[in-house]
């Protein structure tokens, strides 16, 4: 522990498990106060309790503006400030162009693309007032490949997050708010446990699937002052599975 996030408060969505939980644990180790947001209030509370007294667990559906605004207000009431937003919440149903239902399309796009927009929109006024902040969006390898093992709505939504990241970075730079993204490849979580990912896992140049902690360490870098002159960028964390 080096205290890289001392005196900082972070809101992390989808933080009850998987990559989100790993980011929450990493940030807490670096002395941040952490708001653990998840659509499942039980996992949010459990993770927050494991982090200790500097953490807050709250229920949040990132696809609902009312839920996002209520959760953001709760974080500000509890901690008095919000320095870092990590838009990690995600939703995936394996589908094809032919089989994708309208309901699946809407839910996947709402969580994965509209969610980061709503969360950013909610925190921007506070960050602008303080003239500081870091927003980290979670995109995906699928955004660059068309979704080899994820399906069209997920790939399209994550590609939208790439563009959203650049647009936010340009708009918020005058207020000293940095906006960057992480594009994970195949990370060992429940989301990549399906057989569709087996072939991808076997073709990773570094010879192994990623771990949630690999993504968390990248998020820590982007959230910290080590990245104070970086904005509008997307960092791949994929073991070399896709290189550009």
Residues 238 and 185: beta-carbon distance below 8 Å: yes
Strand order in the sheet with 177-184: 55-59, 33-38, 9-13, 84-87, 133-138, 177-184, 234-237
Indicate the DSSP class of residue 192.
G
154 is catalytic: yes
The residues near 1 (Cβ < 8 Å, ≥ 6 apart) are: 29, 30, 31
Paired tokens of 236 = 């791949």
Bridge partners of 229? none
Catalytic residue among 91, 94, 154, 242: 154
Q: Where do the DSSP E strands lie in 114-224?
A: 133-138, 177-184
SS3 for 10?
strand
User: Is 126 exposed, middle or buried, given 0-12, 13-18 or 19+ CB atoms closer than 10 A?
Assistant: middle
**With contact defined as beta carbons under 8 Å apart, do 135 and 120 qualify?**
yes
Paired with 187 in beta bridges are 210
DSSP code for 32: -
Catalytic residues: 154
């Amino acid at each position: 522990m080096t205290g890289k996030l001392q005196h900082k408060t972070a809101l992390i969505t989808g933080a009850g498990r998987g990559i989100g939980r790993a980011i929450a644990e990493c940030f807490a180790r670096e002395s941040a106060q952490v708001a653990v947001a998840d659509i499942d209030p039980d996992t949010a509370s459990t993770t927050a309790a494991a982090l200790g007294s500097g953490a807050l667990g709250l229920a949040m559906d990132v696809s609902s503006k009312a839920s996002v605004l209520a959760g953001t207000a709760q974080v500000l009431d509890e901690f008095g400030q919000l320095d870092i937003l990590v838009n990690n919440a995600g939703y995936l149903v394996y589908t094809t162009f032919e089989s994708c239902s309208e309901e699946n399309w809407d839910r996947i796009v709402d969580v994965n693309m509209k969610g980061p927009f709503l969360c950013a929109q909610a925190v921007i006024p506070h960050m602008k007032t303080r003239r500081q902040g870091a927003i980290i969006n979670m995109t995906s390898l699928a955004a660059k490949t068309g979704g080899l093992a994820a399906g069209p709505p997920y790939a399209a939504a994550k590609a939208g997050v790439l563009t959203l990241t650049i647009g936010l970075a340009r708009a918020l730079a005058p207020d000293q708010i940095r906006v960057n993204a992480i594009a994970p490849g195949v990370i060992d979580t429940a989301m990549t446990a399906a057989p569709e990912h087996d072939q991808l896992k076997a073709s990773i140049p570094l010879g192994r699937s990623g771990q949630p902690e690999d993504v968390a360490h990248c998020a820590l870098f982007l959230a910290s002052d080590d990245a104070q002159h970086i904005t509008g960028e997307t960092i791949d964390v994929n073991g070399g599975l896709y290189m550009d």
